[in-house]
Homo-oligomer: A and B are copies of this chain.
Amino acid sequence: MIYLTRRATFSASHYYWNEHWTAEKNVEVFGRCARRNGHGHNYTLEVTVAGEPDPVTGFVVDLKWLKDVIEREVMAAYDHRHLNLEAPEFAMANPTTENIAIAAWKRLHPAIEAAGSGACLSRVRVYETPEIFAEFRGEA
């Protein structure tokens, strides 16, 4: 069993806000992240698949294929976008690093399963900055 990881980066805006709270409460909880014009990050996404290397190619999966999947399923929806305003999964939920990791998993998992390559999605890690990152492994 090999764990093969590919990194990709995307630049996006976001803010944190709860519509059921007053503005004061939002600022108290979310601080500078509550500013409604948004701010942004260079996010780094790490996608890890697990499987056996094919004895002929030596590949767990073709990394060009994996790059295309990431591009189509995540980058097209998040890169150079305002996550709150343009990604439907964040219309009602804050695009925290934690929630982005789960959402990226949900976007990637069906495409990787559908490929029938024998490799499965093992881990998604999202860095908001080099100091903050969240990881989802598909565990309930």
Contacts and interface: CB of A to CB of B under 8 A. Distances in A.
Interface of A: 1-9, 11-14, 16, 18, 29-33, 35, 37-42, 53, 55-60, 62-64, 79-82, 85-86, 93-99, 101-102, 129-137, 139-140
A98 to B, nearest CB: 4
Contacts of A57: 16, 18, 29-30, 94, 96
Give 4 closest A-B pairs by Cβ, nearest first: A40-B40, A37-B82, A58-B94, A58-B96
B135 A5 contact: yes
B134 A56 contact: no
Given A18-B57, A131-B7, A13 B42 contact: no
Contacts of A41: 11, 40-42
Max chain B C-beta neighbours (<10 A), residue from A3, A31, A130? A3
A42 to B, nearest CB: 5
A117 to B, nearest CB: 13
A26 to B, nearest CB: 10
A37 B58 CA distance: 19
Max chain B C-beta neighbours (<10 A), residue from A9, A37, A98, A133? A98
